[in-house]
Chains A and B, each alone.
Chain A
Amino acid sequence: MSHVLIIEDDERIRASMRLALEDEGYTVSDVESGEEALAALEGSTPDVVLIDLMLPGIDGFETCRRVRRTSTVPVIVVTARSDTHDVVAGLEAGADDYVTKPFVAKELAARIRALLRRARPDDESPSTFTFGDVAVERDAGVVTRAGEEVHCTRTEFRLLCELAENAGRVLSREHLLERVWGYDYFGDGRLVDVHVRRLRTKVEPDPAAPQFILTVRGMGYKLVV
């Protein structure tokens, strides 16, 4: 049974989310501030963390950044402001995905399920990819660069595998949203953009001038070996 940690300052939202997620079969714990959440995370590691961006004290963005410093746990940010900047800032802070209030419980459950999925192995493709000095071992879930392990979130890892399995082919944002995030046609392309940026900082020698993960304007991304 997967464990979800909810960080939300509004007591009633917290309680109702807890009820709804428990109905969906999750074990839920909840805290009302970023400070409490960071303390709770030191004791146990949940499978998914939901962070409300508007928190008193250290806000959701900062909480997200601090969680990311020590953990690769999947994070979904919950925002009341779906304005461009909040969503992108939340993703930049390290979130894997986002939901906008007011969300439907089923939708949130679907997002959580998608993040908990393991990378879908493609039988025909090899389980190890290399490009430059980067090596990806799909089954072990390990990425190394010049022999040293690179810490990737599960989403980043899935994205990297998807790109590497299809090295040389241009993958559209829709394709990546579907394969990596489990979205249908109307996923938010910014998810892909922010994650690609983050991935580049981990595997590219110069993230500003990528050599491996290339943007194909108007079409999507491709990984070249």
Chain B
Amino acid sequence: MTPPRRGRRLRNRLGLRARVTAAFAVGALALSCVMAGITYFAARQSILAERQATAQHQAFVNASLVERSLRSSRSDLTQLLESVDTLPGSRSVLHTGGQWYATSISVSERTLPLALRATVSGGSAATQRFVASGAPQFAVGVPLPSVKSQYFEVFSLAEVASTLRTLAAALGAAALVTVVGGAALGRWASRRTLRPLAGVTDAAVAIAEGGLGTRVDAGDDADLQALASAFNRMATNLQQRIEREARFTSDVSHELRSPLTTLSASVAVLQAHRDELEPRAQRALSLLDADLDRFRRMVDDLLEISRFDAGSAELALDDVDPVELVRHALAGASPAAGADVPVDVDPRAAALRLRVDKRRFERVVANLVDNAARYAGGVRRVLVLPGRPGGDGRVGSVRVVVEDNGPGIPPSERDRLFERFYRGELAGRRATGDGTGLGLSLVAEHVRLHGGSVWIEDAPGGGARFVVELPLDPEGSGRRAPSDGALGTTGPLAAVVRPPSPEPPRPRGTVAS
């Protein structure tokens, strides 16, 4: 991996907001470093220059004083040096008559840099900064040619160094504060800049979840209006297209209903007069009747699907006893499929009250039973179980489990079974070709409308196990039926068909139906 690509990867991983924040922080750091550097060096120059000027001035004053004293009398030189008015921290060194005199034992001719001594011996005044005994020093050397002497004064710059250190620390702290401030500013600015993007994201998510009527409000920001209007145009087009398709399906189904009504009524009349027909005609009538029934179911299913697609599917909720409802639904299923299937009821589920759309619930159970009868050798048993308890320990859902006698369904097929007209590997096992191809997808849609979920597991002892979990109260659980403009097809299926979760509680006692 080459470095630039790694860099790009890092940038991508960081995300725009983190990157903007980092950029602001780095910018603030660079700026504050430059500012601090300039400030430090300017201050240092200025402080040193002033200190040195003062020192130099004093040294010259003292030198002339010493020169005068030397010229007038040869008194005690040490005393003379001590009497010189010195600044605190300054020490004097005098070289006269080949002898060195100093005011302090901390200085001597050896303290003085050789270069300075040489220059001053040469007859020129000079200054030099140096380090002695670990502290910065400033020495001024003044030749006193009239008395053949040289006067030196050594000033300690420790105080200046300490001031500069304090300054540097202050500047460093200020830089740090600036960096943090810069980062915070960057974070705020990026969040503020990206807030409209978050709005667009929310809207996109809402649309993906079926809220086709969702639009973005750009406010009065000219930069964002372009994005918002483009987004809204896209959403409107999408909505129109989906609604057009849904309307088409709905219209087709409706148009089919009139001829179906005629066919249905006419076939009923023929059936009533069946005995008057020849055996061949009777067989033809049976075929006609059977496929008319299938045709009718198909139109019903298509219409049902189109209502989901158009978002006009609504729940008509009733309070029911789930067990009674399951039994009624089984009774409503085709007799071959599930009329005398045992229903095992967990005692805890028997006491539950369920708020559901009865018609839809009945379709769910009937379609599952029908599916088992068509493709899996019939239903082995039906279970009614309480859902897993919620955080407060109360059961908030009920599970209806339909187990079949088939060979089971491989995991790779499980989710796809809920797709419309899905054939897949089941195609080869189609025992009777009179399904509508929409049964399981309608199961998923009905369940989703209730805010529940449906999935497939392996039944203990072989076969497939369809589990439908419904909240006891779709409205109470905070999940409402999608409002107008909601879409019930593509994306949401993923939310409905979920992978198997841990085994539900087993029934302790069972009641056969």
Contacts and interface: CB of A to CB of B under 8 A. Distances in A.
Contacts of B261: 10, 13, 16-17, 101-103
Contacts of A19: 265-266, 269
24 contacts: A10-B258, A12-B262, A13-B258, A13-B265, A16-B262, A16-B265, A16-B266, A19-B266, A19-B269, A20-B268, A23-B268, A101-B257, A101-B258, A102-B260, A102-B264, A102-B296, A102-B299, A106-B268, A172-B319, A173-B318, A185-B328, A185-B358, A188-B316, A190-B316
Contacts of B269: 16, 19-20, 23, 105
Interface in A90-125: 101-106
A150 B72 CA distance: 145
B371 to A, nearest CB: 20
Given A106-B268, A186-B328, A218 B258 contact: no
B11 interface: no
B362 A186 contact: yes
Contacts of A185: 324-325, 328, 358
Contacts of B268: 20, 23, 104-106
A81 B258 CA distance: 11
B263 interface: yes
A144 to B, nearest CB: 34
Nearest to A19: B269
B260 A101 contact: yes
Contacts of B325: 185
Given A80-B258, A103-B264, A186 B316 contact: no
Counting chain B CB atoms within 10 Å of each CB, the highest count among A23, A102, A190 belongs to A102
Interface residues of B, number: 32
Contacts of B264: 16, 102-105
A205 interface: no
Interface in B283-336: 296, 299, 303, 307, 312, 314, 316, 318-319, 324-325, 328, 332
A206 interface: no
B355 A218 contact: yes
A105 B266 CA distance: 9
Contacts of B318: 173-174, 189
B272 interface: yes
Given A23-B272, A83-B307, A173-B318, A105 B254 contact: no
Contacts of A23: 268-269, 272-273
B319 A218 contact: yes
B359 interface: yes
Contacts of B332: 186
Interface string B224-266: 0000000000000000000000000000001001111111111
A219 interface: yes
Given A81-B254, A186-B358, A105 B316 contact: no
A70 interface: no
Contacts of B260: 101-102
A84 interface: yes
Counting chain A CB atoms within 10 Å of each CB, the highest count among B262, B303, B324, B358 belongs to B262
A189 B316 contact: yes
Nearest to B295: A102
Interface in A6-29: 10, 12-13, 15-17, 19-20, 23
A191 to B, nearest CB: 11
Given A12-B262, A83-B312, 14 more contacts: A12-B259, A13-B258, A13-B265, A16-B261, A16-B264, A19-B265, A19-B269, A101-B258, A104-B264, A184-B328, A186-B328, A186-B332, A189-B318, A218-B355
A80 B254 contact: yes
In the complex, the 4 A-B pairs of residues with the closest C-beta atoms, listed nearest first: A16-B265, A102-B260, A105-B268, A102-B261
A222 to B, nearest CB: 15
Contacts of B362: 186
Nearest to A219: B319
A99 to B, nearest CB: 10
Counting chain A CB atoms within 10 Å of each CB, the highest count among B257, B263, B264, B268 belongs to B268
